[in-house]
Amino acid sequence: MRARLPLLVLALAQLVIALDYNIVYVALPDIGSDLGFAPHHLQWVVSAYVVTTGGFLLLGGRAADLLGRRRTFVAAALVYAGSSLVGGLTESAGVLVAVRAVQGVGGSLLFPATLALINTIYEEGPARNRALAVWGAAGAGGLCFGSLLGGVLVQSFGWPSVFFVNVPMGVALAWAGSRLFPPDGPRAKTRRFDLAGALAATGGVSLLVFWLAHAPQAGWGSPSALVCGALSIVLLTAFAVVEIRSRDPLVPGRLLAHRRLIAAMALTALYSAGFSTLPYFMTLYFRDVREYSAFATGLAFLVPALVTALGTHAGERAVARIGVRRVLAGGMLTGAVGAAALASALTADGPYTRLLPGIVLLGLGQGAVWTGMWIVAASGVPAADQGVASGMASTTLQVGGAVGLALLVALAGGFDHGPPDSARLDGIRAAVFAAAAVLCGGVLLALAPRRAATRVATS
């Protein structure tokens, strides 16, 4: 019971992070009309969260290592609660975007702290793999379940409820974490934050994600996009220079030479570019093409949520039997086949059951890969570096999702021939097929030669 209660809190924290990522999707039309968002600005209700989460993850991981994992967890949960309360009360479009940015900062602190707590509370091997599977079920399922919960809340209580729901959850997580997690030791006086590196990394990654979210709308050759891209390159180059010269770098060089961690970072990027972009296009399909209500759209995501949760559990068991490398390759392949089947089934009419074969395969593959890639990312990393290692892998998760979504949105928007309804469906279908191709790339990465591939002990 002592081991289960902390894991329950950690899983709930991951559920909150995943829900917050896309719970607003279903509410976007109502938010736009109530707060007077211009159509081309509404995307920033989502993008503001993605930009700040991706930009601050390395700093969040380092904070967990230096300030303490429990302290960082509690502070991040309270940031979520406070910003969500403001979001639900606001009547200003600008304030709501700022709230989403602050929620992203909370996520960038909470995610690596949560993962670092799992990787230090539970011993490497079956116990940690099992904990990661439970945590993964909450997170991967939350990406789909967010749309279901969002639909129910919007239909019943209006769009502010998708923010208010986080307030009691955030407060409860902070209270439970402060009592159930091991106390943090005194801060090591020999280690410091590497402020210059933290500022350069945070600014560089934030601008990179902002550029990827902004450029498809403004134009890749527009002045604003070119300036953002150039500044991102300058800051990331400065970060590399600072890290080389620093005696206590934000990202220790030993982690950059850690093959399993680097492989896991590549996998998280492909995972997010493939799996995590699909809820966006499925929401567009259900609401714009099929004209589902907010509640019906949320209900349509119930099956993906349940199957993804089952996939994480099956992935944990499969790792113990056949190894993580085969689980990763099999999960990516299953997801690719599922995405291709789903794209083929997307039509302007027809029953929901036509989509189920693709949805089931996608969910199983997504859950299995989610569990496996975090097992790889934590394997062999010293306890003192678990926070920043989690930040590194989760940064590539966010950047991969931003790159994937930007490219797939641009691809979907290129289908402007024919009637608008037909063009919209063709664009969504093309994006889902492209996501299947991305997941095929993940299969090749997982099956790369063993000297560069991921191999971890499973017992």
Provide the pLDDT for residue 431.
92
* Phi, psi values for residue 66, rounded to 5°: -90, -40
Provide the pLDDT for residue 132.
78
DSSP assignment of 393-457: HHHHHHHHHHHHHHHHHHHHHT--SS-HHHHHHHHHHHHHHHHHHHHHHHHHHHTS-TTTS----
Alpha helices in 219-258 (DSSP H): 223-245, 253-256
| Count of CB atoms situated within 10 Å of the CB of 336 | 23
**Tell me, what DSSP letter sits at residue 193?**
-
* Phi, psi values for residue 295, rounded to 5°: -65, -45
Provide the pLDDT for residue 340.
95
pTM over 0.85: no
Angle between helices 126-157 and 93-121 (to 10 degrees): 160
Measure the CA–CA gap between 57 and 61, rounded to whole angstroms. 6
Alpha helices in 285-413 (DSSP H): 294-300, 302-322, 324-345, 356-378, 386-413
Please, are residues 96 and 31 in contact by the beta-carbon 8 Å criterion? yes
Measure the CA–CA gap between 100 and 43, rounded to whole angstroms. 11
Measure the CA–CA gap between 429 and 425, rounded to whole angstroms. 6
Please, are residues 165 and 316 in contact by the beta-carbon 8 Å criterion? no
Digit-by-digit pLDDT tens for the chain (459 residues) are 456 788 888 888 888 887 777 677 778 778 888 888 776 667 678 778 877 887 788 778 778 877 888 999 999 999 989 999 999 998 888 899 899 989 988 988 888 888 888 878 887 778 887 887 788 777 766 766 677 777 788 888 888 998 998 899 999 999 998 988 888 776 655 556 667 777 887 788 778 877 877 776 677 788 888 888 899 899 889 888 887 777 767 776 677 767 788 888 889 899 988 998 888 888 888 878 888 887 788 788 888 888 887 888 888 788 878 888 899 999 999 999 999 999 999 998 888 999 999 999 999 999 889 888 888 877 777 776 777 777 788 788 878 887 888 788 878 877 766 566 688 898 999 999 999 999 999 999 888 765 444 444 333
Measure the CA–CA gap between 432 and 439, rounded to whole angstroms. 11
